[in-house]
Amino acid sequence: MQQIKPSPLKLIRRIIQTAAFFLFPGLFITMFSAIKTLYMAIIDGTFHITAQANELILVLSMLLITALMGRFFCGFLCSFGTMGDFFWVVGKRLKLRRRNLSRRMDQALKSLKYILLIGIVLIGWTLGVSLLSGTANPWTIFGMLTSVAGWPNLTAWVSVGALLLILIMAGSLYIERFFCRYLCPLGAVFAVASKVRLFKIRKPAQHCGNCQACTKQCSMGIPLYGMNVISDGECIDCMNCVDVCPRGNVKANPKPALAAVVAVAAMSGAYFAGTIASSAAAEQTTVIETASRTTSVTAGQYIDGIYTGSASGFRGTTKTQVTVSGGFITDISVLSTDDDASFFNRAERSVTAQILSTQSLSVDTVSGATFSSYAIMDAVTDALKSALVNAGTAEGSAAQVGVNSAETASSIQTEQGLIALEDGTYTGSGSGYRGETSVSVTVENGCITSVKVTNTSDDERFFSRAETTIINEIISGQTPDVDAVSGATCSSNGIMEAVANALGIEFTAAAPAESRHGGHGRR
Ligand code: SF4
Ligand code: SF4
Ligand code: SF4
């Protein structure tokens, strides 16, 4: 096998790959996560240009740069691809027998990644389940592997994602860029975007001999010998073909090294611009949601006090301190975390602001900081376990319920006026999207203190989005007549109607939530 001559271009690539591996090991996860967040927000009907500014900037700029320059992301920046290159070199050093698949087999396997991409999109569309998060995918495990601090998370090492990662590493020993060629759904997205690229690598076939060295050294196994212009979406701009050509016949304008530096600088800039936009959006969300809280949250379900709780994040444990005052969650402080500050800070601002504003423990995660987001939610939930009215002491539970106003202490507000409630547990039903929804409503000291859904025929995906928000708002507002959750209106109405039915009051359908929250409803 012909050796690729060392060249400045190759040196530049290795330096950028190494730097990106250590500086942005999670960049491809961030890209996946951003695409997933946008996609799920769009299909849920909760897309908002400000809330998704980070993802929009990142995804659109990366796709635009790819459409102009080609897949420099894959060739230079993606640490998962760099890992593939590393194992390919290891296989070479170990003198493992390389696999040369037939052209037909190679082409057939390359279509697998498009099938995977379509599968992920369809499953997200129909079931509302993302296959791109959690420890079932190898990218998450790889992200943990690239940080020593992530190693102690032993449960992640016994997972589907870890097994897949080992198989990918093994495959990369025998087939160059094994995962990129055949399996990467993000690579499929980039391949489509790069079809129209303006930066083209040219190799006039009439100046070629019969060496076919470029074809043999192509990282992605593209049959280059018959081509004059490389426009294949599989090309990852690795520039091996430029380096290897003994006749200097493979060229590009602008020069490949210059194009690489420009593309990488533009992509890095887009990444940081997205991060800055995310911070600005989080601060804006804080202002908007804090303002809405004063009108939407009027009662609480927790005993006043200061509580601490902890949960596992991406690198280790996150501890929070939660203050409850007047039945509300009024302050959340992060006492400590093992997660990376750059990711955690983005999650902290957004997640704590959402919890405070919605008084809900299930809020939107921050793209690219999913584990940190869940860690904060779980730590707050852990802290509030002992603050719940039903979990409190006898004197606490009796004393703290419905103390906010004279009206809510003995009655609830309906369109027909104040209605007094007898203490007790009531059951009722309402019409959801697919059929009947049944609830059990507990009234203590004249207040609605608990609503439990005992049965529903609605789709889990929509219903679960409505359930937490609607029940929280009913308890907070002491009325079944609250705003429906956007994208889950029928499920929302089913719960409201069931509560109204249980309490023996007339039900009036609510308006969509975004009209009240300025478009910042839950996803
Ligand atoms: S194909 Fe996928 S894994 Fe490979 S370099 Fe591109 S984004 Fe990374
Ligand atoms: S065509 Fe050239 S630049 Fe593209 S992947 Fe193959 S060797 Fe790399
Ligand atoms: S390595 Fe150069 S000369 Fe050989 S086939 Fe490729 S472009 Fe032509």
* Helix (H) or strand (E) segment spanning residue 174: helix 160-174
- Tell me if 297-396 shares its fold with 405-517: yes
Counting from 1 in the atom list of ligand 1, the atom nearest the Cα of 185 is 2
List, for residues 321-369, the tens digit of each pLDDT value.
887 776 777 788 888 887 777 678 778 877 887 787 677 787 777 766 7
List, for residues 221-240, the tens digit of each pLDDT value.
999 988 999 989 999 999 99
3-class secondary-structure state, position 89: helix
The alpha carbon of 254 and the centre of ligand 3 are apart by a number of angstroms equal to: 20
CA angle 475, 481, 485 (to 5 degrees): 85
Tokens describing residue 118? 């379509």
Which pLDDT score, from 0 to 100, does residue 342 have?
63
- Name the closest ligand to CA 226: 3
- Name the closest ligand to CA 260: 2
List, for residues 37-66, the tens digit of each pLDDT value.
777 667 666 676 766 777 788 889 999 999
Counting from 1 in the atom list of ligand 3, the atom nearest the Cα of 203 is 7
List, for residues 236-292, the tens digit of each pLDDT value.
999 999 999 999 999 998 888 899 999 999 988 887 776 666 555 544 443 333 333
Which pLDDT score, from 0 to 100, does residue 312 have?
77
Burial of 424 (0-12, 13-18, 19+ CB in 10 A): exposed
The fold adopted by the segment(s) 297-396 is: Sufe protein. Chain: A (3.90.1010)
Q: Whose CA is closest to atom 5 on ligand 3?
A: 212
DSSP for 442-469, please give it.
Answer: EEETTEEEEEEEEEE-S-HHHHHHHHHH
80 lines ligand 1 (CB under 6 A): yes
The alpha carbon of 221 and the centre of ligand 2 are apart by a number of angstroms equal to: 8
Q: Residue ranges per domain, the chain?
A: 8-198+256-274, 297-396, 405-517
Selection from 219, 205, 194 nearest residue 10 by Cα: 219
What is the number of other CB atoms lying within 10 angstroms of the CB of residue 412? 23
270 lines ligand 1 (CB under 6 A): no
- pLDDT of residue 2 exceeding 70, the answer is no
Q: Whose CA is closest to atom 2 on ligand 3?
A: 245
Which pLDDT score, from 0 to 100, does residue 184 have?
93
- Name the closest ligand to CA 180: 1
List, for residues 422-467, the tens digit of each pLDDT value.
778 888 898 888 788 999 888 877 778 888 888 888 877 678 778 8
Query: For residue 94, what pLDDT band results from cuts at 50, 70 and 90?
Result: very high
The alpha carbon of 155 and the centre of ligand 1 are apart by a number of angstroms equal to: 26
Span 405-517: which CATH code?
Answer: 3.90.1010
- pLDDT of residue 149 exceeding 60, the answer is no
For residues 379 and 316, the answer to whether their CB atoms sit within 8 Å is no
- pLDDT of residue 4 exceeding 60, the answer is no
182 lines ligand 1 (CB under 6 A): no
The alpha carbon of 177 and the centre of ligand 1 are apart by a number of angstroms equal to: 9
